[in-house]
Amino acid sequence: MLRSKMCEIGVEIQNVLKRIDVAYGARSKDIKTSKPYLVAVSKTKPVNMIIEAYEAGQRHFGENYVKELVVKAQDPEILQKCPDIKWHFIGHLQNNKINKVVKLPNLHMIQTIDDEKIATGVNAAWEKLDIPNKQPLRVLIQINTSGEEAKNGIQPNEASSLFKYIKENLKNLQLEGIMTIGAFGHDYTTGPNPDFISLMKVHNQICIENEFRPEEVQISMGISNDFDKAIEMGSTIVRVGSSIFGSRVN
Ligand SMILES: *Cc1c(COP(=O)(O)O)cnc(C)c1O
C-alpha cells in the first residue's frame, strides 16, 4: 500500500509528542524543571520533509552543519511556507562562521556556546546586526559531560563561571540554559545515564549560585534513543532526528 511521506512524518511527530508527555508525567515531582519541548533535528534531510513536519504543527527545528542551515533557512519555499519556523543551531560553531549563522532568517537559538571567545563573538555579531525589533539572541552553553576529547563543550566544572561571565557581560545574548550531547549508547541496565546526571548537577549549581528557580534554566538533553529517560531526569528540550525523519546514511 502506498503511503505518503508527509503523513508518516506527521504520525512520527505525534508519536514522539506522546512519548514526551508520558515521560514528563513520569518525572518525579521533586524535579521542578519546566515542561519539555521538541526540536526536530532535520540534518541531512530534504526541505520537503521539513515543510511536512511544519505543516504537521512542528515549529522548532535543529541543524548542526552551518552549510546546511545556511541553505535551508534561506530556502524560498521554507521562507514562504514556514513563516514561523524556529531554527536551533546545534552543531559546533567556529569563530569564522558566526556571521553566517547569526544573520539567518528565523534563527531562534544557538545551543552550542562553549567558551568566552565564541560567546563574545556571537554577542558582537548580534549587536551589529540590523534587524527590526531585535531581541537578545537565545543561547545555551554546551557542556562536555562525557569528557570525550572528540566532543565539544566546556567542562562541567567550568560551566558556572562561563554562565556568570555571559550573564554579566554579554547583553546581546539571552542565556537560557545548558546542553549536552554525551556519550552514545549508554547501557541503561547499568543505571541512569551519567551524562544526564552530570548535566543536572551543573543545572543545580547554576540555579543555586544565581538564585534561579529550576524552571528558569533550560536543559537540552536527549535524542531519539534516550529522550524519554532524559525527560524523566529533568530535560526541557529534546533534540530528536531519526525517530521523526528516519535513519540517516551519514
Ligand atoms: C543528530 C543530532 C541529534 C539527533 O539525533 P537522533 O539520534 O537522530 O535523534 C541531536 N543532537 C545533536 C547535537 C545532533 O547532532
Q: How far is the CA of 241 from the centre of ligand 1 (A)?
A: 6
Q: What is the pLDDT of residues 187-241, one digit of tens each?
A: 999 999 999 999 999 999 999 999 999 999 999 999 999 999 999 999 999 999 9
Is 42 within 8 Å of 241 (Cβ atoms)?
yes
**Domain spans, the chain:** 9-245
Q: Does the C-beta of 181 come closer than 6 Å to ligand 1?
A: yes
Q: Does the C-beta of 124 come closer than 6 Å to ligand 1?
A: no
Helix, coil or strand: residue 59: coil
- Its pTM stands at 0.96
Which residue in 54, 48, 134 sits closest to 86, CA to CA?
54
Alpha-carbon distances, residue 64 vs 18, 72, 89, 126 (angstroms): 25, 12, 6, 19
Task: State the residue for C-alpha cell 546545534.
Answer: 90
- Ligand 1 atom nearest to 111, measured from its CA: 13
Helix, coil or strand: residue 146: coil
pLDDT per residue of the chain (250 residues) written in tens, 0 to 9: 455 444 699 999 999 999 999 999 999 999 999 999 999 999 999 999 999 999 999 999 999 999 999 999 999 999 999 999 999 999 999 999 999 999 999 999 999 999 999 999 999 999 999 998 999 999 999 999 999 888 899 999 999 999 999 999 999 999 999 999 988 889 999 999 999 999 999 999 999 999 999 999 999 999 999 999 999 999 999 999 999 999 987 6
The second-level CATH assignment, the architecture, of 9-245 is Alpha-Beta Barrel (3.20)
